[in-house]
A and B are shown apart, each in its own frame.
Chain A
């Protein structure tokens, strides 16, 4: 986090750096300007002093009166400001000894001609020290730096004050987004005095509102869908029961007819009564299947860990008669333990395997059950893909979808009602999986279904648990 851009620190740092740079530049400018000015003034003073000295010393030079020269020099330099002085004749020879032998480079040197009337008789050369100049300039520097430091502090303060509303607005924005993320805005709307943040707030408000509307619509639809589904199941259940009532009458009274009026009915009459009875039986099966189907939607128990191999053992026992009758070889691979409703999942295997046994014309019918763990390409979640494969009649591709519809059958037979695969589909989808079929007509069929891999944990109210933590199957043996 430390490496992230922090408005407070960054603003202050930039303001400080910029003001500091300004102060330094200003100081330099001051320094340069003051120095130039001071030099100009000193130059001017030196020139005036040189001219004055040249005028004063002229008679002494003409007469070569050295003590007179010394006096004139002494007169012109009461403050000892002049650090260097030479009197030269026309041939550039020194005719008066200099004050100091050395001639520091920092001296301002000026020359003035010594005249006798209009004739130049010599030259005065003066050197003035720069000490006084530096002192003035240093004062300027110190003053500038002191003022500069104050300005830098003021700038930092100003940056903090100026950025405070922005920082506050961003903090509000963050808080708002966090609250929305945690559980909806609850009607709260974001407003800000900062125009840019307010713009963001407006967009965010719109977005939040749209998301909330979409969520509530979705929740409503889901609730409606569930209610409708429940209603449908309830309806199916009631209807099925009501349909059974007249059926009982048809069944019983056609039987009474056969039993009590056998002598009075001829062969044809008995056959017709038999058709009534077998039709009633078939209707009874349809209604029972419908009841079973609607009950699947009504009685949803929590999932519990179930070992599919154990489950398949029970299914095998239940189907033993059919297996023996058609000499079918049922081969079961190693299967996982999954979270499911044991009763419903038993129904899935029972239906798929009994179909595989029933719709087989081969001399050595084989049914294989197996499963692999895969990753769902769409969700990225781990899931089990279970298959039930047979070498039976096969299904034409045009019926791949239709077979899962309720009461859809591809063959007429006396037992089937066409609800088995519908139940398989419903159970699998209830468990969060998909079911599909692959088949080559005449070669065999493979039904696949998936079960999302879930953590194996015991539901608190799971019924009938054994010491191994696996739910004992509701056996129908």
Chain B
């Protein structure tokens, strides 16, 4: 049995959070999902600031699932900050959003997104997507070694 992976879900819509968590639960992979409700909170989590300042409260995630439409700092800003940070840029970021606009897609990839996925409406499709994400990013893909480089605040 492999060590569980840590996934950071950045999502403001409570229903979507619950749906995604439920999908992770039903996928029975045993990975840990941390949830941040806005861009600011996500950055606090990643840089161990604010309520995540206490050591061990915010592990460095193996994968970030990022919504674009977020209060305070939006998803693209979070993505940009992660991808320009020397200690963070090696964390795979999967954009998971409702928008399928060409502008959004290309802007995210330009800023450094590792994948761009749109949220399906039906739960069965959500479940499939969550299973596929874990399968591809956490099992098929070789991830950078954990704690290889400490975050640079």
Q: Are B123 and A252 in contact (CB under 8 A)?
A: yes
Per DSSP, chain A at the interface is helix
The answer to the question of B126 belonging to the interface, with a C-beta cut-off of 8 Å to chain A, is yes
How far, in angstroms, from A284 to B102 measured CA to CA in the complex?
21
The answer to the question of B89 belonging to the interface, with a C-beta cut-off of 8 Å to chain A, is no
Chain A: how many interface residues by the 8 Å CB criterion?
Answer: 17
Q: Are A251 and B123 in contact (CB under 8 A)?
A: yes
The answer to the question of A230 belonging to the interface, with a C-beta cut-off of 8 Å to chain B, is no
The answer to the question of A247 belonging to the interface, with a C-beta cut-off of 8 Å to chain B, is yes
The answer to the question of B132 belonging to the interface, with a C-beta cut-off of 8 Å to chain A, is no
Residues of A within 8 A of B124 (CB): 255
Q: Are A252 and B19 in contact (CB under 8 A)?
A: yes
Q: Are B98 and A241 in contact (CB under 8 A)?
A: yes
How far, in angstroms, from A172 to B52 measured CA to CA in the complex?
83
Q: Are B99 and A253 in contact (CB under 8 A)?
A: no
Q: Are A253 and B121 in contact (CB under 8 A)?
A: no
Q: Are B99 and A249 in contact (CB under 8 A)?
A: no
Residues of B within 8 A of A280 (CB): 121
Which interface class (under 10, 10 to 19, 20 to 34, 35 or more) fits B?
A: 10 to 19
The answer to the question of B141 belonging to the interface, with a C-beta cut-off of 8 Å to chain A, is no
How far, in angstroms, from A251 to B18 measured CA to CA in the complex?
13
How far, in angstroms, from A284 to B122 measured CA to CA in the complex?
9
A454 nearest CB across to chain B (Å): 27
Residues of B within 8 A of A255 (CB): 123-124
Residues of B within 8 A of A245 (CB): 13, 16, 98
Q: Are A284 and B121 in contact (CB under 8 A)?
A: yes
Q: Are A248 and B22 in contact (CB under 8 A)?
A: no
A396 nearest CB across to chain B (Å): 36
Question: How many residue pairs, one in A and one in B, have C-beta atoms under 8 Å apart?
Answer: 43
Task: Count chain B CB atoms within 10 A of each CB in A237, A245, A281 and give the residue with the most.
Answer: A245
Q: Are A247 and B15 in contact (CB under 8 A)?
A: no
- Minimal Cβ-Cβ distance residue in B for A255: B123
The answer to the question of B119 belonging to the interface, with a C-beta cut-off of 8 Å to chain A, is yes
How far, in angstroms, from A246 to B98 measured CA to CA in the complex?
11
Q: Are A248 and B119 in contact (CB under 8 A)?
A: yes
The answer to the question of A256 belonging to the interface, with a C-beta cut-off of 8 Å to chain B, is yes
Which of A229-249 touch B at CB < 8 Å? 237, 241, 244-249
B23 nearest CB across to chain A (Å): 9
- Minimal Cβ-Cβ distance residue in B for A247: B121
How far, in angstroms, from A248 to B18 measured CA to CA in the complex?
11
How far, in angstroms, from A366 to B123 measured CA to CA in the complex?
39
A334 nearest CB across to chain B (Å): 36
How far, in angstroms, from A229 to B18 measured CA to CA in the complex?
38
- Minimal Cβ-Cβ distance residue in B for A260: B22
A256 nearest CB across to chain B (Å): 7
Q: Are B22 and A244 in contact (CB under 8 A)?
A: no
Q: Are B121 and A251 in contact (CB under 8 A)?
A: yes
B36 nearest CB across to chain A (Å): 19
How far, in angstroms, from A281 to B101 measured CA to CA in the complex?
22
A230 nearest CB across to chain B (Å): 14
Pick the residue among B99, B101, B121 that contacts A248 (CB under 8 A).
B121
B25 nearest CB across to chain A (Å): 11
Residues of B within 8 A of A253 (CB): 15, 19
A343 nearest CB across to chain B (Å): 14
Residues of B within 8 A of A299 (CB): 102
Q: Are A244 and B121 in contact (CB under 8 A)?
A: yes
Q: Are B98 and A249 in contact (CB under 8 A)?
A: no
Which of B1-31 touch A at CB < 8 Å? 13, 15-16, 18-19, 22
Q: Please list the 5 inter-chain residue pairs (A to B) with the smallest Cβ-Cβ separation, ordered nearest first.
A: A249-B15, A252-B123, A252-B19, A255-B123, A284-B121
Q: What are 12 A-B pairs with beta-carbon distances under 8 A?
A: A244-B98, A246-B15, A248-B15, A248-B19, A248-B119, A249-B13, A252-B18, A252-B22, A252-B122, A252-B123, A281-B122, A284-B121
| A residues whose Cβ falls under 8 Å from a Cβ of B | 237, 241, 244-249, 251-253, 255-256, 280-281, 284, 299
If A280-B121, A284-B122 are given as contacts, then 19 extra A-B residue pairs at C-beta distance below 8 Å, sorted by A number, are A237-B101, A245-B16, A245-B98, A248-B16, A248-B19, A248-B119, A248-B126, A249-B13, A249-B15, A249-B16, A252-B18, A252-B19, A252-B126, A253-B15, A253-B19, A255-B124, A256-B22, A284-B121, A299-B102
